[in-house]
Amino acid sequence: MVAVGTETDGSIVCPASVNGIVGIKPSVGLISRSGIIPISKTQDTAGPMARTVKDAAILLGVLSGIDDKDLITKESKGKSFMDYTQFLDLNALKGKRIGIEKKPQGANQFINALLEKGINLLKEKGATIIEIDYIDKINSLGEAEFEVLQYEFKDGLNQYLSSANAKVKSLKDVIDFNLANEDKAMPYFKQEILESSNLKPGLADKKYTDALNKSHKGSKNILDTVFEGHKLDAICGITMGPACSIDMIYGDRWGYSLTMPAAASGYPHITVPGGKVYDLPIGLSFFGTLYSESKLIAIAYAYEQASKNRIKPEFKKSFL
């Protein structure tokens, strides 16, 4: 019926998109991270995954709340709701201003046609579509975001493992274990990111604070300027392309990703079924400013109910 996902950058909305379901990556601070193995204290959050916006909204209300063990949740005081289903509104798209990046996300004609179909439906239901220019500015912060994630991964994981009921007590212990058991632990890919993260100094390092200012604060400033300048209620686009082809030599083949803006800024992001390409699900994303979950749920619900894109999964006949 429902599941709880965890996201740093895409790990709720991407699997939701390629499985043809709804995923909500909430504002960082809406849901406690206590007990979750950390990657980034700046970007990590749990969030609901479900077949419908209504089911996801129900679970979001259950998950949200203040936790003294996760201090950032105190920032959500007075900004969260125990019942998000009160915002389910079939007419929520009327009068809404939805931003669409004017630069195409990619060159696939079928995916682009799916987005165009979604945009037309938003217009039919009363939304105003505003062309915006922001994605290149956000993408230029990718290197800084990766720098932040490496610093925070080492710091957070060391804190987590130091008190965990496990034989490994630090990131270095994990690296050493993998090296000692390389044939079984790393038969295809190695641990370059673990090793590069472990080389980072503490969070007082100037390179970390500079990267944090550039990635987290920079992405928030870019988005806030776009939202305020165009008086937007949400930004929309294709969540990602169809399920990745997995290559044991070159890795996963990605295409069409709209996860970084909401991830790096800590802003909320919801994906709903947007249709199918190559008989595989594609998600349509809506993201907004901090603690705008109620508005995004309303918009996503109105689109979901108008589009009826969700298709019950089925097994394909084998050609073998």
CATH of the domain at 75: 3.90.1300.10
| Sequence letter at residue 281 | P
Tokens standing for residue 100: 């669409």
Q: What is the pLDDT of residues 70-101, one digit of tens each?
A: 999 999 999 999 999 999 999 999 999 999 99
**Percent of the chain's residues with pLDDT above 70:** 100
Could you tell me if 21 and 49 are in contact, meaning their C-beta atoms sit under 8 angstroms apart?
yes
pLDDT number for residue 201: 97
Average per-residue pLDDT for the chain: 96
Which H or E run includes 235?
A: strand 234-238
The mean pLDDT value for 128-150 works out to 97
pLDDT number for residue 139: 96
Q: Is residue 36 a part of any domain in this protein?
A: yes
Q: Is residue 140 a part of any domain in this protein?
A: no
Q: Is residue 274 a part of any domain in this protein?
A: yes
The mean pLDDT value for 261-266 works out to 98
pLDDT number for residue 248: 79
pTM of the model: 0.95
Q: Is residue 145 a part of any domain in this protein?
A: no
Q: What is the pLDDT of residues 153-212, one digit of tens each?
A: 999 999 999 999 999 999 999 999 999 999 999 998 899 999 999 999 999 999 999 999
- Spacing of C-alpha 155 from chain mean position: 22
The mean pLDDT value for 94-116 works out to 97
**How far is CA 122 from each of CA 90, 131, 156, rounded to the nearest angstrom?**
12, 14, 41
Q: Is residue 209 a part of any domain in this protein?
A: no
- Split into its structural domains, the chain has a count of 1
pLDDT number for residue 45: 98
Tokens standing for residue 128: 């105003």
Residue 320 has pLDDT above 80, yes or no: no
pLDDT number for residue 317: 84
| Sequence letter at residue 189 | F
- In which domain, by residue range, is 107 found? 2-132+216-307
Of 250, 228, 241, residue with least CA distance to 99: 228
Q: Is residue 76 a part of any domain in this protein?
A: yes
Q: How confident is the model at residue 252 (pLDDT cuts 50, 70, 90)?
A: confident
Sign of the dihedral through C-alpha 66, 70, 71, 76: negative
Q: Is residue 275 a part of any domain in this protein?
A: yes
pLDDT number for residue 245: 80
pLDDT number for residue 111: 96
Of 97, 47, 56, residue with least CA distance to 273: 56
Q: How confident is the model at residue 316 (pLDDT cuts 50, 70, 90)?
A: confident
The whole-angstrom separation of Cα 274 and Cα 41 is 31
The lowest-confidence range among 67-81, 110-124, 253-267 is 253-267
pLDDT number for residue 249: 77
The whole-angstrom separation of Cα 298 and Cα 251 is 37
Q: Is residue 320 a part of any domain in this protein?
A: no
What's the distance, Cα to Cα, between the start and end of the chain in Å?
A: 32
